[in-house]
Amino acid sequence: MEQNITILYVEDDKTLSFITKDNLEQYGYKVVHFENGQVALSNFTLHKFDLCVLDIMLPKMDGFELAKRIREINRDIPILFLSAKSQTEDKIKGLELGADDYITKPFSIEELKLKIEIFLRRNKITSSENIKNSILEIGSYKLDVANQILLFGSDEDRLTLRETNLIELLFVNKNQLIKREEILTKIWGDDSYFNGRSLDVFMSRIRKYLKKDPRISIENIRSTGFRLNCVE
């Protein structure tokens, strides 16, 4: 594992936070822990964090609001939710606010460690690949892959890493059907049911980014996949 990885960990359960922090530090991570969302947010810009692990039921500012505020400051940092809530609606809400994944309590340290390693490895791989594929153009849009920016004339949208990966995949395969399983495996790592729901949330977001050019549309091929249609 790479050294100097710093994790923002927000959890108000004193026993759980002590055990989790202690175990992650034994694996070599630096863990900065806060017990409520408000204090975590006020300290977010004081450290260079590589990943956020957030409980949802927090005092003063819950995890949903904290994730939203973090995304306003940093569009790229991976956000992982920890919560006793297991309803699909709560998971989808977290994704819509910009979270990358979700672990339901009780969880094992091994599961959490694996999720963290996947995110860090994926960020590293994507960053090196992005150097090769700098600018992609479709219709009136330009995707600056390396800087994670979608340009439409003088307008620009700053993207998360996963949004960038998804738009890049669509642009490279324009007017071609991309199967759901292929998208999920390449960008999420597996094609589980929950990741499938996550993909639908992200596709809805991508459609909003691309709605300014009437020549571009994203077609949902039911139960099969997606096609980015572009009329030249």
pLDDT at position 20, please?
94
All domains of the chain in start order, with CATH: 6-127 (3.40.50.2300), 133-230 (1.10.10.10)
- pTM, two decimals, is 0.63
pLDDT at position 131, please?
47
Taking alpha carbons only, the member of 75, 76, 54, 78 closest to residue 66 is 54
pLDDT mean by block of 10 residues, the chain; 232 residues: 81 94 94 96 92 92 91 85 73 73 86 86 56 78 90 91 90 93 83 76 92 94 92 81
Asked whether the beta carbons of 203 and 197 are under 8 A apart, the reply is no
Q: How far is 1 from 45, CA to CA, in rounded Å?
A: 25
- Tokens 């940093």 map to which residue? 74
> In which order are the strands placed within the sheet that holds 6-10?
30-34, 6-10, 51-55, 79-83, 101-104
Q: How far is 92 from 101, CA to CA, in rounded Å?
A: 10
Amino acid at 12: D
pLDDT at position 193, please?
67
pLDDT at position 187, please?
83
